[in-house]
Amino acid sequence: MAESMNEVKHRIASTKNTRQITEAMQMVQTVKLNQIQGQTATYNEYVAKIKAVVMHLAESHLLDSQAPSKTQDQGKKGPTAYLVITSDRGMVGSYNSNALRGTNRFIADHTPNADDYVILAVGGTGADFYKKNGANVAYEYRGVSDIPTFQEVKGIVKTITQMYNDHLFSELYVCYNHFVNRVRSDFRVEKLLPMDRESIEQSMSGADGAGASIQTEALTAEYEVEPSEQEVLHAILPQYSESLVYGAILDAKTAEHSSSSMAMKAATDNADDLISSLELKYNRARQAAITTEITEITGGQEALNH
């Protein structure tokens, strides 16, 4: 019985140490979540202005020149690319599995033939998963900051855009977990390229990349463009694409921190339950040992009296 009590006592101590770690990790992730939500508020102000301008362009039919003609569309070549955003680490609950499962479902519905798509992975978990499963991972980026900066994402957008211009793929979808609130995130897919009027209007009809509802004012569609329409498009569309990718990564990171915080809370709660169970087991074993010892002493005294 003494050995069994020592084992239980050791498990209690070990579980308490684990609990301290998970509780500390939960606090860290909560701080990061608060920080990135502050960053999101700043981003929302910026993207609202960009979306307002792009919406004007769409309403004024200035984006019609960006759409491929039927002849071009029929003759287009190249696979579809999926920009999949996951984390670089574990201990994030169901965050990665939800993103990968949602992406796989979307791919199965749109490009079931493996030769018809390539993967662009932001996050080591997604990159490793698709490499292991034999997918064509044409690009990967690891080590996204806990609080991503706009400058960091510009490099990703530049590389992806160059791949598109080099005809390595014909269209691009971004797949990620959208942060709804601190206990929920939803999988989301948005078309990013080609950047034509149809894809932009689809983006406008949905929620923005950072998970907040951005409303643009109803504006007239009449323009006096200076110096030229093409120069305006050349200036604004790269900023728009950068804002979409940055918003998706910012949104995904927010969902990641939230999921990690919830996972660490669940682990801490489980540790509390286990500690309570082990302490109850230990106290019962100690009481049983004391009862046995008292019984033995009483029995010994009775034997002496006889």
| Mean pLDDT of the region 59-74 | 53
Indicate the angle between helix axes 229-305 and 150-165, nearest 10 degrees: 120
Could you tell me which residue, 55 or 242, shows the higher pLDDT? 242
Q: Report pLDDT for 122.
A: 95
Q: Report pLDDT for 53.
A: 72
**Residue 3: is its pLDDT beyond 80?**
no
Q: Report pLDDT for 135.
A: 92
Question: At a CB cut-off of 8 Å and minimum separation 6, what does 286 contact?
Answer: 5
Residue 187 banded pLDDT, cuts 50, 70, 90: very high
| Mean pLDDT of the region 215-239 | 60
**Residue 119: is its pLDDT beyond 60?**
yes
Number of Cβ within a 10 Å radius of residue 201: 14
Number of Cβ within a 10 Å radius of residue 25: 18
Lowest-pLDDT choice from 4-8, 174-178, 264-268, 300-304 = 300-304
**Residue 128: is its pLDDT beyond 90?**
yes
Chain mean position to CA 43: 17
Question: What distance in Å separates the CA atoms of residue 115 and residue 136, rounded to the nearest whole number?
Answer: 8
Q: Do the Cβ atoms of 171 and 193 come closer than 8 Å? A: yes
Question: What distance in Å separates the CA atoms of residue 157 and residue 139, rounded to the nearest whole number?
Answer: 12
Which candidate, 98, 116, 97, places its Cα nearest to that of 108?
116
Q: Do the Cβ atoms of 103 and 137 come closer than 8 Å? A: no
Segment 197-213, tens digit of pLDDT:
666 666 655 544 443 34
| Mean pLDDT of the region 272-291 | 84
Q: Report pLDDT for 75.
A: 46
